[in-house]
Structure 1
């Protein structure tokens, strides 16, 4: 799965179809009419409160699509270590690499599409983290 371009309406529609959720159930759960639901399917982006409700209905964390995009395409700058941390907003110390992210990166390395160094540079993944993924991949394929 590629995270570069996210069309959330298409992802929602795919999950609805995959889980065979009826339009009646969706309309009742979201308190919206069919036309509204169809408009969501066509939308590239939607309100976060609505996305949270879709996530609950379909039992799928749609926000992870955006987190994965940030990890892959807007990694935090190592230079910005003097950032002031707010007491009111949660601060996330580490990136959370989902299995999809790991698979995506490993596929790019193993296919020769990117080198080890290019991955570290482009995605700001620590060398030790990438080494651990490669080691686990080797362990899984050899044993």
Structure 2
């Protein structure tokens, strides 16, 4: 996937079905639905989580990861408020940790650099990736 900003689940599911050459009969049996319902799911930009979980199992691919990668790349940077209130401190469990980079994210970033779509400085500025982290990826991969 080239663009983690715009996720169209239906088209990604359709690509996976075609790539794995899964028969419509098997899909319909798995979901207990008609062929038209499967086709309609492939047209949808988003799907309910329970349906997406079933697709992930059938196609043996974690479609939820696409959203995690989107959050890593496009969520606003976390604020570093030193004067946090006690109420916000108890809510640390719900904070999104931006410093978890998957192999797919690293590949995506390095591809942006290698193809000339973005410079190193642009990557650092846009995605808030630390300079040392980016240079480690470049030397390692």
TM-score > 0.5 by shorter chain? yes
1:4-40 Cα shifts (integer Å, max 9, x gaps): 2111000001101111111111111112211110100
Indicate conservation of the 8 Å contact 2:10/2:45, yes or no. yes
Shift of 1:111: 3.5
Match of 2:40 in 1: 39
Runs (5+) with no aligned partner, structure 2: none
- Looking at structure 2, the residues matched to 39 and 123 of structure 1 have their Cα atoms a distance apart, in angstroms, of 34
Alpha-carbon RMSD across the aligned residues, in angstroms, is 2.2
Indicate conservation of the 8 Å contact 1:85/1:91, yes or no. no
Residue pairs, 1:115-134, within 5 angstroms: 115-134=119-138
- Looking at structure 1, the residues matched to 97 and 90 of structure 2 have their Cα atoms a distance apart, in angstroms, of 11
Match of 2:65 in 1: 64
- Looking at structure 2, the residues matched to 50 and 34 of structure 1 have their Cα atoms a distance apart, in angstroms, of 15
Count, aligned residues: 135
Runs (5+) with no aligned partner, structure 1: 138-143
Residue pairs, 1:1-143, within 5 angstroms: 1-74=2-75, 76-80=76-80, 82=84, 83-86=88-91, 93=97, 95-137=99-141
- Looking at structure 1, the residues matched to 47 and 131 of structure 2 have their Cα atoms a distance apart, in angstroms, of 36
- Looking at structure 1, the residues matched to 7 and 104 of structure 2 have their Cα atoms a distance apart, in angstroms, of 15
Match of 1:141 in 2: none
- Looking at structure 1, the residues matched to 96 and 71 of structure 2 have their Cα atoms a distance apart, in angstroms, of 13
Shift of 1:98: 2.3
TM-score (norm: length of structure 2): 0.82
